[in-house]
Amino acid sequence: MRSRAPLFALLLVIGSFALPLAAHAGGIPFFGPIIDGKILDQTCPLGWGAVITVINNLISLLLTLAIVLVAPLTIAYAGFLYVVNPMDPGGVSKVKTILTNTIVGLIIALASWMIVDAIMAVLYHPTDPSLAGKTWSSLITGNTSDACLKVAGALDQSAGQTTPGVVSGGVVYSGATAQCAVSNSACSPSALQSAGFNQTQANVMSCIAVTESSGIFNTPPYNKTHPGSNSTACGTFQITQTTWNKYATGACANFSNCTDPACNIQVARTLVANNGYNDWTCANCNSNAAACIQKYSP
């Protein structure tokens, strides 16, 4: 009888590559950390958003282990049983049962997570068209303000604050289109106007700064606090190194100055002058920037 071992080996190799690729749409593979730097870097009381982020990370890790460790070992064990005794009907039936249960289990786990993820995205932001197509886990983990506990008594009530939801220092607690506090010299509307933005631009960019960095000007490059990430987004307006090197001039030309508030404002002003707000509203960029533009543009 012709051996089926080569065919089984081929299917095993194809499955080992296909399963991780199929799961990638759900944020998998994920190898941690469970509590990432976005949460640890927060200077506010952590709330429900932080809890959800940790739960998302834990579920993603468990699914990853199931796909890259448990499933391959189970499939390899089934293959071993088949190769050792391919003529035993009982053994062949056991192999089929193991393979079927493994594949069905993975499909159910991945499908359940992705369906719940998509439904929760709609429930999380049901009226925001800019978030169409986003998953729940990406919305929660991509918005650092959601990690903060909403403390109404701590909101900044300073005169001139256009939108409530910002405490002194620029850390956001609530308000999807909040602006930096008037005391925040790195991104308040008045500070941005003094740096050369017109009134509309200053209002829009103050709001964008909140959605990008919570108004924290000395936010270091993302890949410095999250080793392994490809993102170099840095500073108040989260400008990447490639963009910085293209537009920064003078004393700010070196990317090491990206946490300098004046330099970040200078490069942001150049970007707005050349490209409008496109560097923040581009595909896969800041999903909240459009709301800032809609609110503060005449």
200 and 247 assigned to the same domain: yes
Q: Is the pLDDT of residue 27 over 70?
A: no
Predicted confidence at residue 225, as pLDDT, reads 87
**Per-residue pLDDT reduced to its tens digit, 272-284:** 999 999 999 888 7
Q: Is the pLDDT of residue 174 over 50?
A: no
Of residues 294 and 8, more confidently modeled: 294
Q: What is the pLDDT of residue 22?
A: 46
Q: What is the pLDDT of residues 185-207, one digit of tens each?
A: 999 999 999 999 999 999 999 99
pLDDT mean across residues, the chain: 75
Q: Are residues 133 and 201 in the same domain?
A: no
Residue 86's DSSP bridge partners are none
Whole-number pLDDT of residue 185: 92
Tokens of 102: 């493994």
Number of domains composing the chain: 2
Asked, as a colleague might, if the bond just before 220 is cis with ω within 30 of 0, I would say: no
pTM: 0.45
Of 138-142, 183-187, 207-211, the range with the lowest mean pLDDT is 138-142
Q: What is the pLDDT of residue 7?
A: 45
CB 246 within 8 A of CB 286: no
Tell me what pLDDT residue 152 has. Answer: 38
**CA gap 38, 24 in Å, rounded:** 21
Q: Which of 111, 142, 173 is the last residue of a domain?
A: 142
Q: What is the mean pLDDT of residues 137-141?
A: 53
- If asked whether residues 205 and 73 sit together in one domain, one would say no
Domain that holds residue 213: 151-296
Higher pLDDT, 240 or 43: 240
Do residues 105 and 176 both lie within one domain?
no
More confident residue, 174 or 107: 107
Does position 264 have pLDDT exceeding 50, yes or no?
yes
Are 170 and 288 found together in one domain?
A: yes
Question: Number of C-alpha atoms within 13 angstroms, CB side, residue 170?
Answer: 28
- Reported as a pLDDT band with limits 50, 70 and 90, residue 60 is confident
The set of residues, in sequence order, having a beta carbon less than 8 Å from that of 174 and lying 6+ positions away, is 145, 150, 152, 155, 164, 165
Whether 259 has a pLDDT exceeding 90, the answer reads: yes
* Single residue among 113, 142, 171 that ends a domain in this structure: 142
Does 160 have pLDDT greater than 70? no
The better pLDDT of the pair 61, 118 is held by: 61
159 and 262 assigned to the same domain: yes
What is the pLDDT, as a whole number, of residue 229?
A: 85
Token digits of residue 231: 């993102």
Is the separation of the CB atoms in 166 and 172 below 8 Å? yes
Q: Looking at this protein, which amino acid is placed at residue 1?
A: M
Q: What confidence score (pLDDT) does residue 65 get? A: 86
Instruction: Tell me what pLDDT residue 50 has.
Output: 67
Based on the domain organization, do 106 and 168 belong to the same domain?
no
- Contact between residue 211 and residue 288 where contact means Cβ atoms under 8 Å apart: yes
**What letters, b where the CB count within 10 A reaches 16 and e where it falls short, cover 118-141?**
eebbeebbeeeeebeebbbbbbbb
pLDDT (0 to 100) of residue 275: 92
Predicted pLDDT of residue 159: 32
Q: What is the mean pLDDT of residues 7-29?
A: 50
Q: Where would I find the H helices in the chain?
A: 5-23, 37-40, 48-65, 71-84, 89-124, 136-142, 189-194, 199-213, 222-225, 241-247, 261-275, 278-281, 289-296
- Token pair recorded at residue 197: 């933005």
Given pLDDT bands bounded at 50, 70 and 90, which one contains residue 1?
very low
Q: Based on the fold, state whether residues 174 and 284 are members of the same structural domain.
A: yes
